[in-house]
Amino acid sequence: MTLPSLRAVLFDRDDTIAYTDPGVYREAAAWLAQTFGLETGAALSALRDQWAARALTWWHLRTDEDEAAFWAEYGTELTGRLGLPAEAAAQLMTAYPYEAYMKPVPHAREVLTELRARGLKVGVLSNTLPSIDRTLQAVGLADLVDVAVASCVVGVHKPDAGVYLHAAGALGLPPEQVLFVDDKLDNVEAARALGMQGAQIDLTGQAPGALHDLRAVLALVPEAVAGAD
């Protein structure tokens, strides 16, 4: 069903237009083994354990400087897990920074390109760190995104109403003219409560009623937006 009033599509990032590639963890572990003479399996376990320990401890970060300090501390902790000297942290975090673990989901660039060709704005709203622009650049999508909003910068996170309203304001549109796409149903329902159109996406194909392919978004938007440049 096409939603004719739409003028923008606002995407979540993780597991919607990009994903964390487990293969990069294996690549990083192999690099650690070769560079520092570690056992690959132990290096892989340390990488996973460090992320599990710190993955949700960054909600308070607001600026690029805050994030840089976080990753410096993260690297020092990781080298400690690996039994490496602290000075190895900078080398490790330069070789495999946060964004290196991300890849675009299938058809992401194709879909975003088509949305813009139809005259729609494209936004990204993610519960993430201030470096959202850098991550979108890393997955090859930054040039197709009009507005990228990191919840940490705003200071509130999905499903809080404030972060959706902030994103709609950044797009220059009322919520009613925005389609929000996210893999988490709670986040989609929060957007709908504000008047946005909402669609859940589940690229694993398991959630009933969800979109299972990013290209399905194209069927929800008009072929052309009236008055668009």
What's the pLDDT tens digit per position in 65-86? 999 999 999 999 999 999 999 9
Angle at 157 between CA 16 and CA 96, to 5 degrees: 55
Q: Which of 1-15, 75-89, 95-109, 172-186 has the lowest mean pLDDT?
A: 1-15
Q: With a cut of 80, say whether residue 228 has pLDDT above it.
A: no
Model pLDDT, residue 4: 65
For residues 102-114, average pLDDT? 98
* pLDDT score recorded for residue 169: 98
Its pTM stands at 0.95
- Measuring CA to CA, which residue among 112, 102, 94 is closest to residue 8? 112
Residue 126's φ and ψ, nearest 5 degrees, are -135, 140
Q: Looking at residue 227, what is its pLDDT?
A: 65
Fold of 8-17+105-220: Rossmann fold (3.40.50)
Average per-residue pLDDT for the chain: 96
Q: Where are the beta strands (DSSP E) in 12-136?
A: 18-20, 102-104, 121-126
% the chain with pLDDT above 90: 94
DSSP-derived secondary structure letter, 217? G
Q: With H, G, I as helix, E, B as strand and everything else as coil, classify residue 149.
A: strand
Band of residue 56 on the pLDDT scale cut at 50, 70, 90 = confident
Q: Are 112 and 16 in contact (CB under 8 A)?
A: no
Nearest to 73 by CA among 61, 90, 59: 90
Mean pLDDT on 97-102: 97
Q: Are 136 and 142 in contact (CB under 8 A)?
A: yes
What pLDDT sits at residue 55? Answer: 87
Between the alpha carbon of residue 224 and those of residues 116, 156, 173, the distances in Å are 10, 33, 17
- Rounded to 5°, the CA angle 211-163-165 comes to 90
Domain boundaries, the chain: 8-17+105-220, 22-101
| Predicted confidence (pLDDT) at residue 163 exceeds the cutoff of 90 | yes
Do strands 147-150 and 121-126 pair parallel, antiparallel, or not at all (unpaired)?
A: parallel
